[in-house]
């Protein structure tokens, strides 16, 4: 069995585990992640997933007659600056 493992190389691959969050602009606190699911802050595995969620939210607002500005939202990598 040991002969079969000769030359076998174990490599580690870096996996991008970045999470993205949708932030809402607030007058008092600036940009803040206010998106929650079951009381927990929601994050997304990709920018595309977060963008889809924002588009769905804006579509729902429009259908409900709520005027919402798309510029009140931004998508950033979790942990980036709040400026």
Predicted local confidence at residue 33, as pLDDT: 92
**Stated pTM of the model:** 0.71
Q: Is 23 exposed, middle or buried (0-12, 13-18, 19+ CB in 10 A)?
A: buried
pLDDT tens sequence for the chain (83 residues): 445 555 555 555 444 567 999 999 999 999 999 988 898 889 999 999 999 999 999 999 999 999 999 999 999 998 876 56
Q: In what order do the strands lie in the sheet with 30-32?
A: 30-32, 20-26, 73-77
DSSP helix, strand, coil percent of the chain (3-state; round to 5): 30, 25, 45
């Amino acid at each position: 069995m040991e002969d079969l493992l000769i030359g076998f190389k174990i490599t580690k691959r870096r996996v991008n585990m970045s999470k993205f969050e949708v932030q809402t602009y607030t007058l008092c606190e600036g940009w803040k992640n206010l998106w929650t699911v079951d009381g927990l802050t929601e994050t997304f595995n990709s920018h595309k997933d977060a963008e889809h969620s924002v588009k769905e939210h804006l579509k729902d607002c429009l259908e409900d007659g709520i005027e919402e500005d798309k510029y009140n939202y931004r998508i950033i990598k979790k942990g980036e600056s709040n400026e």
